[in-house]
Structure 1
Amino acid sequence: MNSLEDQLKNLFPDHEPNDIPEAEEKSTIWLQDEPLLCKYEKRKGKPITIIEGYTGADSDFKTLAKELKQLLSVGGSFKNEQIIIQGDYRDKIMGFLKDKGFKVKRVGG
């Protein structure tokens, strides 16, 4: 039985595999001294998690919002200098932000 690699070579004989490992992503997001605030609310009966208190560039905060939404596989938005994530993911979000190097403060609940 052929390995998957051999099967792919048969299907795509002209393809040159590149075994270059992907470079690790460097965080270009500005890290502030003040902690980000992570709070929980219910709007229209649905739980949401709000991250606010970022003093850097809006583009950095939008990038952070996108990364959080992809990490959690949930919807969300960026409005009025707040990241709004659908669902109660405070613990996961706080862990992710701490790994990134942010200080996080849990507010309420």
Structure 2
Amino acid sequence: MSSSKRKSSDLKTLTENRIVYSEFGNGDNSAALKRSVPDNSAALERAVPELPPNQQDLRVQASRKGRKGKTVTVITGFQSKPETLNALLKQLKTQCGTGGTVKDNTIEIQGDCGQRLVQVLIQQGYKAKISGG
């Protein structure tokens, strides 16, 4: 029974060396905080294949789900970098005269502009279809 209990000297050394919470660090961990961590952000970024427009199959559909009854035209199926999507978004917004945004490799344009968006996308070389009813 006494073997399961720890000696008071063992408990004292364990509690002295153990850090429970440290917001800014202390003298013992200052070397660890000063140590430089290599920047691997480029390796952690998601690899997105940049396909040419004629190889991308896009779907255009109008949606009101989760938008308090407002109609939004959603374009899905992009396989390109965010910079390319932002440039395309700007062109589509000027063609429709409305606002829009890029979310998770999809473009959302305010309003029901499906026909006009399909025409503009086909002129730019994308394969686009209207999806849904």
Q: Same fold (TM over 0.5)?
A: yes
For the 8 Å contact 2:59–2:76, the answer to whether it is kept is: yes
Q: Tell me the distance in 1 between the aligned counterparts of 2:92 and 2:110.
A: 11
Over the aligned positions, Cα root-mean-square deviation in angstroms equals: 1.5
- TM-score (normalizing by structure 2): 0.57
Aligned to 1:54: 78
Q: Tell me the distance in 1 between the aligned counterparts of 2:90 and 2:52.
A: 16
- TM-score (normalizing by structure 1): 0.69
Q: Tell me the distance in 2 between the aligned counterparts of 1:98 and 1:52.
A: 14
Aligned to 1:96: 120
Aligned to 2:60: 38
Amino acid at match of 2:113: Y
For the 8 Å contact 1:30–1:60, the answer to whether it is kept is: no
Q: Tell me the distance in 2 between the aligned counterparts of 1:51 and 1:75.
A: 14
Q: Tell me the distance in 1 between the aligned counterparts of 2:97 and 2:78.
A: 22
Shift of 1:39: 1.0
Q: Tell me the distance in 2 between the aligned counterparts of 1:78 and 1:35.
A: 17
Alignment: residue pair count: 81
Shift of 1:45: 0.6
Greater radius of gyration (CA): 2
Aligned to 1:63: 87
Q: Tell me the distance in 1 between the aligned counterparts of 2:94 and 2:107.
A: 13
**Structure 1: runs of 5+ lacking an equivalent:** 1-28
Q: 4+ runs of 1 displaced by more than 4 Å?
A: none
For the 8 Å contact 2:54–2:125, the answer to whether it is kept is: no
